Amino acid sequence: MKNRIAEIIHQHDRFEIITHEGPDEDAVGSSRALAHALNALGKSVRLIYPTPIPEPLLFTAEPRQKKGMTPEISILLDVSDVKLLGGVNPQGKVVVIDHHRTNGTHGEVSWIDSQKSSASEMVYDLIRELAVEITPAIASNIYMGIFGDTGGFIHANTSPRVFKAAYELTLAGADASQIAYRLKRTRSVKYYHILCLIMDRLVQSGRIYGSYLRYQDFGAIRATPDDASGIVEELASLSGAEMVVLLRELNPDTVHGSIRSKGSDAALKTARAFGGGGHGMAAGFTQKGRADELIEQVIEEGMKWVSKA
Ligand SMILES: [Mn+2]
């Protein structure tokens, strides 16, 4: 399928790249890297993020964009479900590149590989297939995506292939140290304020820990949801936690849930019960309701999937 997508890229001139709401390191890194590569091939490209890129992820080299053109091809990156595009409508023929497990394909051409650590790793393979030179700008963007989706080479998706890619990307000029410091060692004071709130409300049931953030919390400490990004990983670090749940109210009656589990598909199975999806051990959902009321239900659902041993 990678070859087919390379062919499509060679045969067309105008592209848009669309990624998911709440773009993360992988969404930003894979889209920017691919746009750099398309530019190198003389193609026109524009990037569409349904919601803005969080400020801490804006440091990698930005590709040249061509606004005000009609794309022939719309490449969906790190997402295969048009429902997760926040109302953005692809303008061209849809090509999907994604590493999330899905129940079907949404594009005319779909390359879905849940064995890959990240969309960025897939884009790295695609760019080499296209025979575009891996510049430092491309290398840093891909490295950021891989680093982000492996949790900094921590998660189970950190395969030997990931280390090989990381090795090659640093040789090609990816600034590994800068990326690691920016993503892992740079936190706002507000982040720690949010963490205090979360720890104050921590609930435990067996080996599941959960907590939540109300909509008004953000106003009270003048934080934005960006300030809480990645904070579920702090919960996941709790010793003995087999699963963790963090609920965050996106507005007064909508809750986003992030779930992490240590083994099996517990996170995914729990998220699916609330209409969500994701990976086996890292999943999420969005639901109507109040976080302080929903938390018990999510934990109860989780108990079905986490072994009590
Ligand atoms: Mn991803």
User: How many angstroms separate the alpha carbon of residue 99 from the centre of ligand 1?
Assistant: 7
The full 3-state SS of the chain, as one line of letters, equals CHHHHHHHHHHCCEEEEECCCCCCHHHHHHHHHHHHHHHHCCCEEEEECCCCCCHHHCCCCCCCCCCCCCCCEEEEECCCCHHHHCCCCCCCEEEEEECCCCCCCCCCEEEECCCCCCHHHHHHHHHHHCCCCCCHHHHHHHHHHHHHHCCCCCCCCCCHHHHHHHHHHHHCCCCHHHHHHHHHCCCCHHHHHHHHHHHHCCEEECCEEEEEECHHHHHHCCCCHHHHCCCHHHHHCCCCCCEEEEEEEEECCEEEEEEEECCCCHHHHHHHCCCCEECCCEEEEEEECCHHHHHHHHHHHHHHHCCCC
How many Å lie between the centroid of ligand 1 and the Cα of residue 225?
19
Domain-by-domain residue ranges, the chain?
Answer: 2-184, 189-305
CA of 27 to the centre of ligand 1 (A): 6
- Residue 23 CA to ligand 1 centre (angstroms): 9
CATH class, range 2-184: alpha beta
How much distance in Å is there from the Cα of 143 to the middle of ligand 1? 12
Q: What is the pLDDT of residue 226?
A: 77
For residue 308, the model assigns a pLDDT of: 63
Q: In the β-sheet with 208-213, what is the strand arrangement from edge to edge?
A: 203-205, 208-213, 243-251, 254-261, 282-288, 277-278
78 alpha carbon – ligand 1 mean position (Å)? 5
Instruction: Report how far ligand 1's centroid is from the alpha carbon of 108 (Å).
Output: 21
Measured in Å, residue 77 CA sits from the centre of ligand 1 at: 8
Residue 72 Cα to ligand 1 middle (Å): 25
**In the predicted model, is pLDDT for residue 292 greater than 80?**
yes
What pLDDT shows up at residue 105? 64
CA 159 – ligand 1 centroid, Å: 15
Q: What is the pLDDT of residues 29-87, one digit of tens each?
A: 999 999 999 999 999 999 999 999 998 999 999 999 998 899 999 999 999 888 889 89
Q: Which CATH class is domain 189-305?
A: alpha beta
Average pLDDT, the chain: 94
- Packing angle of the helix pair 160-171, 176-184 (nearest 10 deg): 120
Distance 300 CA to ligand 1 centre (A): 28
Q: Which of 16, 19, 5 is nearest to 44 (CA)?
A: 16
Please give the pLDDT value at position 184: 92
Residues less than 5 Å from ion ligand 1, measured at CB = 26, 78, 118-119, 149
- Contact (CB, 8 A) for 43 and 12: yes
Residue 170 pLDDT more than 60? yes
Q: What is the pLDDT of residues 229-287, one digit of tens each?
A: 889 999 999 999 999 999 999 899 999 999 999 977 999 999 999 999 888 899 999 99
Q: Which residue has the higher pLDDT, 106 or 203?
A: 203
CA distance 223 to 245: 21
Q: Rounded to whole angstroms, how far apart are CA atoms 145 and 139? A: 10
CA of 19 relative to ligand 1 center, distance in Å: 10
For residue 160, report the distance from its CA to the centre of ligand 1, in Å: 18
What pLDDT score does 301 carry? 97
CA of 200 to the centre of ligand 1 (A): 30
Q: How far, in Å, is the centroid of ligand 1 from the Cα of 49?
A: 14
